[in-house]
Amino acid sequence: MSIISELFGKSPFGALVEHTKKVHECVEMIKPLMEALSHENYILLRELHNKVSKLEYEADKIKHEVRGLLSRRVFMPVDKIDLENFLRCQDKIADYTEDFSVILTIRNTKIHPSLIDKFFKLVDQVFQVTGTLLTAAVELQNLAEVSFSGAESRRVLKWLDGLGEEEWKADRIARDLSRDIYKLENEVDTMTIIFYEKMILTLGQVANEAENAGDMLRNMLIR
């Protein structure tokens, strides 16, 4: 192997993009999970949980590949720490999505009819956050080719500028949903309320980690 190959090796950015896409496949399972729960189809819920687990495992395999490439590569247009932090945030998105699927399979819980549309509103907003991140992150390979600068960089930064607002919207929807849940204290048992809150918290963590991943990507662009 030549000295140049030793120094530069295989780029990790292609694998990072594949990891982003696989993580987003995990997130895409949230809505079908929610639909199965709303229809009280607990058998389908467990099948979907198994699919999420498989996707999360596949994302983990890509993650290990990326880390292997990062450990060997010496020269890159961005700091390795930023790439590691970005990868870690993406990994947490997949983990929290799997956690959400686990929560839904712990017990056969019914969603109160007045909450169903509100839960779907939160799910849709979380997907908007992760979708915004995906739009920006899939450009990683192209950004690497232009050393994270120029028009490509400015376009991605513009996408990232909207990420914080989308996550804030998710937080606002989650707070409103929590208020609506506690208005049902005389109708819904305590364990079910706890279940609802666990759902909200985990969905919020998916959105938060998407915003964090966006912050890591922004760091790469502005340094």
Q: Is residue 1 part of a domain?
A: no
Three-state secondary structure of the chain: CCHHHHHHCCCCHHHHHHHHHHHHHHHCCHHHHHHHHHCCCHHHHHHHHHHHHHHHHHHHHHHHHHHHHHHHCCCCCCCHHHHHHHHHHHHHHHHHHHHHHHHHHHCCCCCCCCCHHHHHHHHHHHHHHHHHHHHHHCCHHHHHHCCCCHHHHHHHHHHHHCHHHHHHHHHHHHHHHHHHHHCCCCCCCHHHHHHHHHHHHHHHHHHHHHHHHHHHHHHHHHC
Q: Is the pLDDT of residue 71 over 80?
A: no
Q: Is residue 19 part of a domain?
A: yes
Q: Is residue 5 part of a domain?
A: no
CATH code for the domain of 81: 1.20.58.220
- At 75 the pLDDT is 63
Q: Is residue 108 part of a domain?
A: yes
State pTM to two decimals: 0.90
Q: Is residue 2 part of a domain?
A: no
Question: Token pair for residue 109?
Answer: 């819980």
Q: Is residue 189 part of a domain?
A: yes
What is the number of structural domains in the chain?
A: 1
pLDDT tens column, 125-161: 999 999 988 888 887 777 766 666 677 777 778 778 8
Contact indicator for 207, 167 with CB cutoff of 8 Å: yes
Its domain, for residue 61, covers 10-222
Q: Is residue 123 part of a domain?
A: yes
Q: Is the pLDDT of residue 120 over 50?
A: yes
Count CB neighbours of 189 within 10 A: 11
CA count, 13 A, side-chain hemisphere, 155: 12
Q: Is residue 60 part of a domain?
A: yes
